[in-house]
């Protein structure tokens, strides 16, 4: 897309439309280091650098903050605390009451208390170290267990209920109870949180923010500074990864930079280093699930009563929607006739947790799957046998088992086809036999196998958020400027939307230029989240392109004396199907200008037919479901607990893919990131509530050598039955949960080693595996 536009000598087939494996629009820039991130962009004259002062208590009253010494340090331009915020000290994305800078009380270790601007980052750091804070310690709640006991919640508990779970369980031939503990996860985006705030005329301010949600940064900055939204412009060209971690958290960083820029009248950049980023910003919610399940002798689930307790941390942030999504994904691929799921967003004095790929879905599914495994164990059946009797009705077969616990019918269940395709790739029964043969002769290393099917609901579970806008300009040289409300974080949204526009105009994608997301180009946007970026922005861009196409067609029709309905776009040209009129796209653009026809248009899209009632937890919140399944094999060392995922076979449903190469990359990346959550990534807080795993030395994300042998197939001939953008499906989050197959494979290996598989926690670190194998807790 960074190619020069050359005049076309003749018309020829357009390149880079939808369904093609076009390279990421910045692929070349990524690998040559030429992609510009905020910290690479030139700094404006006089730009100051910021550093934060963080709480070193989990819960305490602030008795005093002394900034005098820091303010007198060399190079220091300003030291601000809560009292210096000109507007309202509140960065809450949904609910009010989430201070940007701690005021009278700190509620987690690492909470920002003050922020310093100085000539250099080194000077800002030196000064920040001289800010002294007086504390009066208060009792801290540090674990979900403590929070549950104290009934400490950030929002009221939620209950999703269908039928009479308790009586169904009581009446069932078999009953079992269980518990699963799962950890959180740091986003570990390569580009840490960063923002640069540049003050302008009067109260105007321009913010470069590494954010998934420019509009929210705009709103938070406006609130902090006490200026109208129209005074704040937020811009982001790209992020170096986000994964949900820059949905709400980016406004904290941008907010601090903005307050300092306002105070000093100078541009200010705040760039967190890895340690600060990991300590100060929210993560995936860890927590626990407890359940009672009633089933029959075939493993058919008759009743489920479950609680899911998520560690929300100190403030609500997005925990409400995250918990809602967790509850909406407990069912996963299983029809649950009688079910009660109670969700708690536990308030603890740890960093406030936030969006992370899957957004509660992974926690809900993992909890349910551990219960399903218990049923299989209890009956001595394979998990496949249990799944076979508990599935939702497939497309075209209605036995009345297609209603989710929240009342949405599952109408698009392609899972049977997914499983068939997977069976063609890997023979599970044969693999189980091979593993048994291996284990029979291997006393120390034991292998296991896991199969996991996913059904993930697509749409923000808050229906209002499912909207998007786009802005298109066609220039008279035939090049097209593309803008929309979605942000690029590496997932390939910009190339997909450019493909949509190229397809709509029938021109080469090289003529379509994506541009920075900006609140002054497309206003009032939603976060690029919930995997819906291409669904929403693709449709908005298509709407804009259709508006322009209609105007251009009218001009061509007028020139050729035919009807606009006869005009066809394609091959970088426009022709009349009624006669021999034909001209290049660029010539028509020029002609439109001569005829004084506007070549600029906006487009808008709102997902139809979705609704959800948060009070009763019922409705049809999802426009459709995305499906996938994975077979994984693992090996564990029963003496050390070390483990490895050996292979993963995946079939995943992306509808009709907009870009197969990008989609396969998303599936691979999501799966490996999911493996990290479930195997090596362990967050560990000490007894005082201080995160001790805040760097790659102690926090282990998967590396290239942890990636198993993988085979990924897209489900073929599976157009989305819903009229989504070119019948594609969202892909960003659903395959994350395929990694549960890896955890199940480790669990199976523990079982094959004679261990207590039901005690395996997540992540399945070496220690966790050893505990499950030996029953001995080394801690």
- Contact segment (CB under 6 A) with ligand MTE among 35-43, 128-136, 527-535, 721-729 equals 527-535
Q: Of how many residues is the chain composed?
A: 779
- CA dihedral over 653, 654, 660, 665, signed as positive or negative: negative
Nearest approach in angstroms of CB 546 to ligand MTE is 21
In 185-241, where does DSSP find H-type helix? Answer: 214-225
Position 673 contacts ligand MTE (CB under 6 A): no
Residue 622 touches which member of ligand LUZ, ligand MOS, ligand MTE, none, C-beta under 5-8 Å by kind: none
- Contact segment (CB under 6 A) with ligand LUZ among 18-26, 174-182, 524-532, 704-712 equals 524-532
CA distance 214 to 339: 39
Contact criterion met (CB below 8 Å) for 138 and 59: yes
CA distance 513 to 19: 19
Position 241 contacts ligand MTE (CB under 6 A): yes
Identity of the residue, 98 or 733, whose beta carbon is nearer to ligand MOS in the bound complex = 733
Contact criterion met (CB below 8 Å) for 402 and 410: yes
Site for ligand MOS in 715-744 (CB under 6 A): 733
Identity of the residue, 219 or 421, whose beta carbon is nearer to ligand MOS in the bound complex = 219
- Contact segment (CB under 6 A) with ligand LUZ among 57-65, 365-373, 506-514, 523-531 equals 523-531
Among 404, 483, 532, 720, binds ligand MTE (CB under 6 A): 532
Position 626 contacts ligand LUZ (CB under 6 A): no
Position 530 contacts ligand LUZ (CB under 6 A): yes
Site for ligand MTE in 351-390 (CB under 6 A): 357
CB-neighbour burial class of residue 594 (10 A; exposed 0-12, middle 13-18, buried 19+): exposed
Identity of the residue, 126 or 250, whose beta carbon is nearer to ligand MOS in the bound complex = 250
Position 772 contacts ligand LUZ (CB under 6 A): no
Among 335, 356, 452, 677, binds ligand MOS (CB under 6 A): 356
Position 453 contacts ligand MTE (CB under 6 A): no
Position 199 contacts ligand LUZ (CB under 6 A): no
Q: Which residues lie closer than 8 Å to 282 by C-beta, 6 or more apart?
A: 245, 248, 249, 313, 317, 351, 352, 353, 354
Site for ligand MOS in 195-214 (CB under 6 A): 212
The b-or-e profile of 531-565 (16+ CB within 10 A means b, else e) is: bbbbbbbbbbbbbbbebbbebbbbbbbeebebebe
Identity of the residue, 118 or 530, whose beta carbon is nearer to ligand MOS in the bound complex = 530
Position 622 contacts ligand MOS (CB under 6 A): no
Q: Which two tokens stand for residue 97?
A: 């009451």
User: Taking Cα atoms as reference points, which of 658, 498, 478, 509 lies closest to residue 16?
Assistant: 509
CA distance 144 to 344: 9
Nearest approach in angstroms of CB 363 to ligand MTE is 14
3-state helix/strand/coil string of 619-651: EECCCEEEEEEEEEEEEEECCCCCEEEEEEEEE
Task: For the chain, state the CA radius of gyration.
Answer: 27
CA distance 511 to 480: 6
Nearest approach in angstroms of CB 95 to ligand LUZ is 12
Nearest approach in angstroms of CB 358 to ligand MOS is 7
Among 71, 166, 462, 562, binds ligand LUZ (CB under 6 A): 462
Position 529 contacts ligand MOS (CB under 6 A): yes
Position 529 contacts ligand LUZ (CB under 6 A): yes
Position 461 contacts ligand LUZ (CB under 6 A): yes
CA distance 456 to 530: 10
Position 679 contacts ligand MTE (CB under 6 A): no
Q: Which two tokens stand for residue 558?
A: 């007028």
User: Taking Cα atoms as reference points, which of 680, 671, 673 lies closest to residue 700?
Assistant: 680
Nearest approach in angstroms of CB 460 to ligand MOS is 8
CA distance 172 to 168: 6
CA end-to-end distance (rounded Å), the chain: 55
Identity of the residue, 527 or 650, whose beta carbon is nearer to ligand LUZ in the bound complex = 527
Single out the catalytic residue among 107, 369, 503, 733: 733
Where would I find the beta strands (DSSP E) of 403-478? Answer: 445-458, 467-474
Residue 533 touches which member of ligand MOS, ligand LUZ, ligand MTE, none, C-beta under 5-8 Å by kind: ligand MTE
To the query of whether residue 8 is one of the catalytic residues in this protein, the response is: no
- Contact segment (CB under 6 A) with ligand LUZ among 42-50, 119-127, 393-401, 457-465 equals 457-465
The H-or-E segment that residue 16 falls in is none
Identity of the residue, 305 or 733, whose beta carbon is nearer to ligand LUZ in the bound complex = 733
User: Taking Cα atoms as reference points, which of 387, 355, 394 lies closest to residue 369?
Assistant: 387
Nearest approach in angstroms of CB 489 to ligand MTE is 4
Region label for 494, one of left (φ > 0), alpha (ψ between -120 and 50) or beta (otherwise): alpha
Return residues touching ligand MOS (CB under 6 A).
212, 244, 247, 355-357, 359, 529-530, 733
Return residues touching ligand MTE (CB under 6 A).
241-244, 357, 489-491, 493, 528-534, 666, 669, 732-733
Q: Known catalytic residues?
A: 733
Return residues touching ligand LUZ (CB under 6 A).
318, 321, 325, 355, 359, 460-462, 465, 527, 529-530
């Amino acid at each position: 897309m960074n190619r020069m536009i050359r005049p076309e000598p003749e018309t020829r087939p357009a390149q880079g439309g939808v369904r093609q494996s076009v390279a990421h629009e910045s692929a070349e820039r990524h690998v040559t280091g030429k992609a510009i991130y905020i910290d690479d962009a030139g700094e404006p004259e006089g730009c100051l650098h910021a550093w934060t002062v963080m709480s070193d208590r989990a819960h305490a009253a602030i008795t005093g903050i002394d900034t005098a010494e820091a303010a007198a340090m060399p190079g220091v331009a300003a030291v601000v605390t809560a009292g210096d915020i000109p507007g309202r000290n509140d960065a809450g994305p949904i609910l009010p009451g989430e201070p940007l800078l701690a005021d009278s009380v700190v509620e987690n270790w690492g909470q920002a208390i003050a922020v310093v601007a100085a000539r250099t980052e080194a000077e800002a750091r030196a000064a920040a170290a001289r800010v002294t804070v007086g504390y009066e310690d208060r009792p801290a709640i540090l674990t979900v267990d403590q929070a549950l006991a104290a009934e400490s919640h950030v929002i009221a508990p939620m209950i999703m209920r269908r039928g009479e779970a308790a009586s169904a369980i009581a009446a069932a031939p078999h009953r079992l109870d269980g518990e699963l503990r799962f950890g959180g996860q740091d986003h570990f985006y390569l580009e840490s949180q960063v923002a640069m705030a540049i003050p302008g005329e009067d109260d105007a301010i321009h913010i470069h923010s590494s954010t998934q949600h420019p509009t929210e940064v705009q709103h938070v900055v406006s609130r902090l500074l006490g200026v109208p939204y129209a005074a704040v412009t937020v811009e982001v060209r790209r992020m170096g990864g986000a994964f949900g971690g820059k949905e709400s958290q980016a406004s904290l960083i941008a907010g601090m930079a903005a307050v300092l820029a306002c105070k000093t009248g100078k541009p200010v950049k705040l760039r967190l280093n890895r340690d600060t980023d990991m300590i100060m910003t929210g993560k995936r919610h860890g927590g626990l699930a407890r359940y009672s399940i009633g089933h029959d002798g075939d493993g058919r689930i008759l009743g489920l009563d479950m609680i899911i307790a998520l560690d929300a941390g100190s403030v609500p942030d997005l925990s409400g929607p995250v918990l809602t999504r967790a509850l909406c994904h407990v069912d996963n691929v299983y029809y649950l006739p009688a079910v009660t799921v109670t969700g708690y967003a536990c308030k603890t004095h740890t960093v406030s947790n936030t969006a992370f790929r899957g957004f509660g879905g992974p926690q809900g599914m993992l909890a349910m799957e551990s219960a399903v495994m218990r049923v299989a164990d209890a009956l001595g059946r394979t998990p496949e046998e249990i799944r076979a009797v508990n599935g939702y009705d497939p497309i075209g077969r209605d036995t009345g088992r297609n209603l989710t616990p929240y009342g949405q019918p599952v109408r698009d269940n392609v899972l049977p086809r997914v499983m068939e395709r997977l069976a063609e790739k890997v023979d599970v029964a044969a693999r189980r036999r091979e593993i048994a043969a291996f284990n029979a002769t291997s006393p120390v290393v034991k292998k296991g196998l896991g199969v996991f099917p996913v059904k993930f609901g697509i749409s923000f579970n808050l229906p209002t958020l499912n909207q998007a806008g786009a802005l298109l300009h066609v220039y008279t040289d035939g090049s097209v400027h593309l803008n929309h409300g979605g942000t690029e974080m590496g997932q390939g949204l910009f190339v997909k939307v450019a493909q949509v526009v190229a397809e709509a105009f029938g021109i080469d994608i090289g003529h379509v230029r994506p541009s920075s997301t900006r609140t002054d180009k497309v206003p009032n946007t939603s976060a690029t989240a919930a995997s819906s970026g291409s669904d929403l922005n693709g449709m908005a861009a298509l709407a804009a392109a259709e508006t322009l196409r209609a105007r251009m067609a009218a001009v061509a029709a007028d020139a050729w004396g035919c009807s606009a309905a006869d005009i066809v776009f394609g091959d970088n040209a426009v022709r009349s199907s009624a006669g021999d009129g034909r001209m290049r796209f660029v010539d028509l653009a020029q002609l439109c200008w001569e005829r004084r026809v506007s070549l600029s248009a906006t487009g808008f899209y709102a997902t139809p037919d979705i609704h959800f009632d948060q009070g009763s937890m019922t409705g049809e919140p999802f426009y459709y479901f995305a499906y996938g399944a994975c077979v994984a094999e693992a090996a564990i060392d029963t003496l050390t607990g070390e483990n490895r995922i050996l292979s993963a076979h995946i079939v995943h449903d992306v509808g009709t893919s907009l870009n197969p190469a990008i989609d396969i990359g998303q599936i691979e990346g999501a799966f490996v990131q999911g493996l990290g959550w479930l195997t090596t990534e362990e967050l560990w807080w000490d007894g005082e509530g201080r995160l001790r795993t805040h760097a790659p030395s102690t926090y282990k994300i998967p590396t290239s050598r942890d990636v198993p042998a993988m085979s990924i197939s897209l489900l073929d001939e599976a157009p989305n039955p819903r009229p989504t953008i070119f019948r594609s499906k969202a892909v960003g989050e659903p395959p994350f949960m395929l990694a549960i197959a890896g955890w199940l494979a480790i669990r199976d290996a523990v079982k094959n080693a004679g261990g207590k598989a039901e005690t395996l926690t997540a992540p399945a670190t070496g220690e966790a595996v050893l505990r499950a194998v030996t029953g001995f807790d080394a801690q």
